[in-house]
Chains A and B, each alone.
Chain A
Amino acid sequence: MENKPLYSVAATFDDVNKLIKAVDKVNEAGYTIYDVHSPYPIHGMPKAMKLKPSKLGFVTLIFGLSGAIFAFLFMYWVNVIDYPLIVGGKPFYQLPAYIPVMFEVTVLSASVFTIVWMLFIMFKFPNLSHPLLDTDYMKKVSVDRYGISIQAKDELFDLVKVKEFLKELGAEEVFEIYFKVDELKDKPKIFDKKFISFLALTTVIVSGITYFILNHLLFMSPFNWMHEQFRVDPQTTTTVFKDNFGMRNPVAGTVARGHLPYPFKGNPADAEKFLVNPLIPTKQVLELGKQKYLTFCSPCHGNFGEGDSRLRGQFPNPPTLHSDKLRNMKDGGIYHIITDGQNVMPSYASQITEEERWAIVHYIRVLQRSLNPKESDLR
């Protein structure tokens, strides 16, 4: 018994009532480290074995409640703090609508963790090297026999006595069950090469798949016909016209609406001389001018035309619009600068329509008058 790795002595019984009586006797004899094996759960067996009631319920309760609390806090954080969005006229915080998800998360976490806890922490599964596995004894108790196995660890254990004892109880067969020697020696190590490489491989595969899904798979659009439409894209050929040019010249002698050629290109003096603002500075015109000014001009010239650029030196600051030169310049001159550009300022002709340019000019006049009002304005 000393050097022999004996695990237990086991006996099979052929009747469940005999088994219950035998278990009572085993208890009376004072054995504590023993187990009973049967192909199905037997009513009253935990009581006969004097087992304490299962505490699994507490695990369930704790994981269930934490699931509920987590779900609630998460939804609260998303809906109220991180991403507040009004849907269906409901408030951000809406408890009734959280309850379904809270319930589901509670059930999920409670049931999954209960099972995980039971199998992997209480039972210490998977355990394929247990000495009882693969024995003739196990093959019997998994079909139609009931077994008692008294472990060698028990304080009262004595091989001969236990065997006698079990036979007295009416055992059909008695087995001696040994540890599997080779598996006893084979102690798993954390820094085992195989284990480490297995971990590494798993890490690489899992992170690779995750990366692929999140960064590539979600952006793939295998068949997206919306992207492909029956139209001619710029710079492409077409079979509609004989010369295969997709881009066409306008019909000779015509001008597209809003695309009248600008006659004063590179000629600010004439522009100032001949161009006249066609708009009257009504409220709407000034609103339009203000809007366009703030959109297109203010990044460099500043919200009030003082040349206080918001671009923090990434682009040279233009001079103020309140200079005498600008204040005395006629409307046509300013219009020309917007249209044609000046120094580092590019042309805005493609972004701002003619009407809008004139409106901006009016708005600049408003800004100028606000800093240098006329006598009449002050009255």
Chain B
Amino acid sequence: MRTIDYSIEPPVVEQNPSLSSINESIAKPLETKPTKGWYIAISISLTMLLIGAVSLGWTFYKGVGVWGVNQPVGWGFDIVNFVFWVGIGHAGTLISAILFLLRQRWRTSIARFAEAMTIFAVMCAGIFPAIHTGRPWLDGYLFPYPNQHALWVNFTSPLLWDVFAVSTYFTVSLVFWYIGLIPDLAALRDRTTNKIKKVVYSILSLGWRHSNRHWQHYEMAYLILAGFATPLVLSVHTIVSFDFAVSIMPGWHTTIFPPYFVAGAVFSGFAMVQNVLIIIRKVFKIEHIITLDTLEKMNKVMLATGMMVGYAYGMEFFIAWYSGNPIEQFVFLNRALGPYAWSYWIMVSCNVLFTQLFWFRKIRRSIPVMFVIAVLVNVGMWFERFVIVVTSLSRDYLPSSWGMYIPTIYDFGILIGSFGLFFTLIFLFIRTLPVVSIAEVKAVLPNSQPSHGGHN
């Protein structure tokens, strides 16, 4: 049996690096020529983006009729992808805000990256509500502005709440991310020798001068922002769940949807962050900053949230039986045994069964295994949304209006394109901005804070 020493605080960063070496290792990718591998990676992601752009162009040209959506199943891949990407986006704010409030210091090394991922994922998500109307040039009407028709949006529709939630979430995440970047941009400004970069960094860092009179307010602002981002992150996926749950569709209208969606979002987001971080730390040789311990903690979070999702699956089934409502019961049996049973079982096995492997410490600390499990988690979470959307719509109250949903090549093209956009943005991000927060990592290094004498 292995014992841990509980009497000392586990270090966030390994090998006890010096403060200046932190600047070196984090700024290195920004100051060197990209490697061959990076070019290969970005060309793959750009190709995917192009596939998406072509599919999207064809969709605009011909209309949403080229998708697989039909009369009973009016929501298909568009809403599935939307919920999926919004969910991915949740880990970022969770890591940066909730773990900040809980003072989990291991978050510092991954927070910046996770926040960037949030922004990119929300951008990917934002595409889908915009295009699913089929006439994206009319999306301006989604916002309440005094227009010449003298019409107002329906403030009581969950779809309108979505507009508010997603745009607020995007804005606040962007502000949060930028606020964190300011000191780092100032540090880059002070070290760069390139004139153009210097101008850019100077403008972006707004003249930050590491003053402690500023740090005081800055920390307060960060705390306030974290305090707001936490309920915000809950509210966003809650409102996304309202899209389904306020309706009277069997299988959609269950009261557990809000927390269940939030847990699922955190679950898939952590899986995505973990996947990408594993690659980043390897490529940039910052394994001592993004440590194996950090990854292990992420796996524990995945285990916990995975079980919460499993709890919700179970609860839905139990209450469907307990309610005595035959339609509700049919929907859940149909999920597990009906024509889309394969997707249901992919969902259950990826989300609930495989993650149970994280009970074992060996697996939590084995990089290839955790990578595969996290990929499977994302597959499972994508299928979760597919199951919710498609099974309920294809088999609702009236058997006479049942129908099957078969996605077309354009549906898949747009899905691939959204991944292309996401990874392209990530590849550009890691070449242009520090992927780890320099200031925050420095603040948690050993000996970086005064030993506790009189001042605290």
Contact = CB atoms under 8 A, between A and B. Distances in A.
A345 interface: no
Contacts of B224: 56-57, 60, 110-111, 114
A138 B190 contact: yes
B203 to A, nearest CB: 7
Interface of B: 18-20, 23, 60-63, 135, 137-138, 140-141, 144, 147, 150-152, 154-158, 160-161, 164-165, 168, 171-172, 175-176, 179, 183, 186-187, 190-191, 202-203, 206-221, 224-225, 228-229, 231-232, 235, 239, 242, 438-440, 442-443, 447-451, 453, 455-456
Contacts of B61: 223
B232 A107 contact: yes
B207 A87 contact: no
Contact of B168 (A57, A108, A127, A142): A108
Nearest to B445: A40
Contact of A79 (B140, B156, B203): B156
Contact of B215 (A17, A38, A110): A38
A153 to B, nearest CB: 14
A150 to B, nearest CB: 13
Nearest to B146: A82
Contact of A37 (B176, B210, B232, B438): B210
A315 interface: no
A54 to B, nearest CB: 4
A227 to B, nearest CB: 12
12 contacts: A39-B438, A46-B212, A47-B456, A56-B220, A57-B224, A75-B155, A100-B161, A115-B225, A129-B207, A144-B20, A218-B141, A224-B135
Given A107-B231, A108-B172, A139-B190, A37 B217 contact: no
The 7 A-B residue pairs with the shortest CB-CB distance in the complex, in nearest-first order: A44-B455, A144-B19, A97-B156, A54-B220, A40-B443, A36-B212, A127-B207
Contacts of A73: none
Contact of A100 (B63, B164, B211, B440): B164
Nearest to B211: A35
Given A79-B156, A100-B158, A225-B63, 11 more contacts: A40-B442, A41-B219, A43-B450, A47-B455, A83-B152, A104-B164, A105-B164, A123-B214, A142-B186, A213-B140, A221-B137
Contacts of A100: 158, 161, 164-165, 235, 239, 242
A125 B235 contact: no
Question: By CB atoms of chain A within 10 A, which of B176, B217, B442, B451 has the most?
Answer: B217
B202 A16 contact: no
Contacts of B171: 108, 112
A285 interface: no
Contacts of B20: 143-144
A39 B442 contact: yes
A104 B155 contact: no
A133 B442 contact: no
A46 B210 contact: no
A214 B141 CA distance: 10
Nearest to A52: B216
Interface string A123-142: 10111111011000011011
Contacts of A217: 137, 140
Nearest to A88: B156
Given A44-B456, A54-B220, A114 B155 contact: no
A143 B217 contact: no
Contact of A125 (B152, B207, B440, B450): B207
B207 A130 contact: yes
A16 B164 contact: no
A119 interface: yes
A139 B61 CA distance: 55
Question: By CB atoms of chain B within 10 A, which of A49, A85, A218, A225 has the most?
Answer: A218
Given A47-B455, A112-B171, A125 B187 contact: no
Interface string A31-73: 0000111111111111111010010110010000000000000
Question: By CB atoms of chain B within 10 A, which of A39, A114, A122, A222 has the most?
Answer: A39
A104 B203 contact: no
A46 B216 contact: yes
Given A78-B152, A118-B218, A138-B210, A39 B187 contact: yes
B177 to A, nearest CB: 11
A118 B18 CA distance: 31
Nearest to A98: B155
Contacts of B231: 103, 107
A114 B141 CA distance: 29
A51 B218 CA distance: 14
A370 interface: no
B220 A107 contact: no
Contacts of A39: 19, 183, 187, 210, 438-439, 442
Given A20-B455, A108-B171, A43 B449 contact: yes
B187 A143 contact: yes
Contact of A40 (B161, B211, B221, B440): B440
A90 interface: yes
Nearest to B222: A41
Contacts of B23: 143-144
B210 A142 contact: yes
A225 B62 contact: yes
Interface in A77-98: 78-79, 82-83, 85, 87-88, 90, 94, 97-98
A56 B187 contact: no
A79 to B, nearest CB: 6
Contacts of B442: 39-40
A151 to B, nearest CB: 12
Contacts of B158: 100
B447 A122 contact: no
Contacts of B137: 217-218, 220-222
Contacts of B439: 39-41
A357 to B, nearest CB: 38
Interface in A2-19: 16-17, 19
A232 interface: no
A125 B213 CA distance: 14
Given A36-B212, A127-B206, A87 B175 contact: no
A142 B18 contact: no
Given A100-B239, A107-B232, A218 B19 contact: no
A108 B442 CA distance: 30
Question: By CB atoms of chain B within 10 A, which of A88, A128, A214, A220 has the most?
Answer: A128
Nearest to A45: B212
Contact of A41 (B154, B203, B443): B443
Nearest to B208: A125
Contact of A122 (B19, B203, B217): B217
Interface in A205-247: 213-214, 217-218, 220-225
A101 interface: yes
B277 to A, nearest CB: 22
Nearest to B213: A35
Contacts of B213: 35-36, 49, 51
Contacts of B147: 214
B218 to A, nearest CB: 7
